[in-house]
Amino acid sequence: MTSTTTTHVTRDGVSLVVRTWEADNPQGVVLLVHGISEHTSRYNHVAAAITAAGLSMVGFDLRGHGESGGPRIDVEDFGSFVGDVGEMMALVRTRQIPVVMYGHSLGGLISLSYVVEGNNLPDALILSAPALGAKLPPGLETVGRLIAKVAPKFRLPTSVKGSQLSSDPAVGEAYFADPLVVTKSTARMGVAVLDAMKAVRLRINDLDIPTYVFHGGDDTLIPTEVSEILESRPNVRRVVYPGMAHETHNEVDKERVIADLVAAAKQFVADAS
């Protein structure tokens, strides 16, 4: 596996850091869309497994995340994220090999928001704990929307605990020690995400490409039942891993999760070839 880092300047002038993990003679490419607060370097171990299977992986730090430009964890319009995915899709499509989009958490929501629009679609979709809903304390959404109106850039903590990411304590320790991880988002971004969740749930019937969904059975950030709605589509296969938290790819038994992910990606590529 070889890894390179480049930059891509978006239509509105934001510089995105793009990481590419190349396989030898790749048969397909996986386009990674990561979750909130994090960045693509947290997926090096996933990329190693994917490239070992003969697929390349391309990921980009979302605007406002990691090493990319833009205000930290702040968008006024959720469509900015979706538009960035469209630009990345255009780039990976130039390879003229099958493309599988892989979105985790917020990245899953962004990926679905892109796919239901129906333009320049990937050949298949892989979703890890997609953020299609969240359990909020009573009144929090109302308060958040009020804050977003009067002080849109006011920052609120994501309040994530290490144990919610993985049952492996080392994962949480590394997460909070990572200088590229930002654990506060603006109020307006929170509202944009909530609105995007509602919009995508209303358009689930527009999900027409082969999709593999996996979710931790003990996920308290994006509850497991949130992804059940995807099973209404005939082209969706969903797997729940009992006892696992939000980042199943970083769990104690992550090798099994990643092996299943790789197998799904390889099958999607084979079917599209």
Give CA angle at 42 (40, 44), nearest 5°.
Answer: 85
Determine the structural domain holding residue 132 and report its residue range: 2-272
CA distance 182 to 199: 26
CATH code of residue 108: 3.40.50.1820
**Could you report the per-residue pLDDT of 118-153, keeping only the tens digit for each?**
999 999 999 999 999 987 777 778 888 899 999 999
Q: What is the spatial distance between Cα 128 and Cα 260, in angstroms, rounded to a whole number?
A: 12
Domain count, the chain: 1
DSSP β-ladder status, 28-33 and 15-22: unpaired
Q: What is the pTM of this model?
A: 0.97
Measured CA to CA, the distance from residue 148 to residue 221 in angstroms comes to: 22
Q: What is the pLDDT of residue 136?
A: 72
N- to C-terminal Cα separation, the chain: 22
Instruction: Tell me how far CA of residue 128 lies from CA of 46, 90, 163, 224, 268, in angstroms.
Output: 13, 23, 18, 11, 16
What amino acid positions are annotated as catalytic residues? 105, 219, 246
Query: CA dihedral defined by 76, 57, 127, 238, rounded to 10 degrees?
Result: 180
**At a CB cut-off of 8 Å and minimum separation 6, what does 18 contact?**
5, 6, 7, 8, 58, 59, 60, 88, 91
Amino acid 139: pLDDT: 75
- pLDDT under 70: residue ranges of the chain: none
What are 161's two structure tokens? Answer: 């605990």
pLDDT in tens, 190-222: 999 999 999 999 999 999 999 999 999 999 999
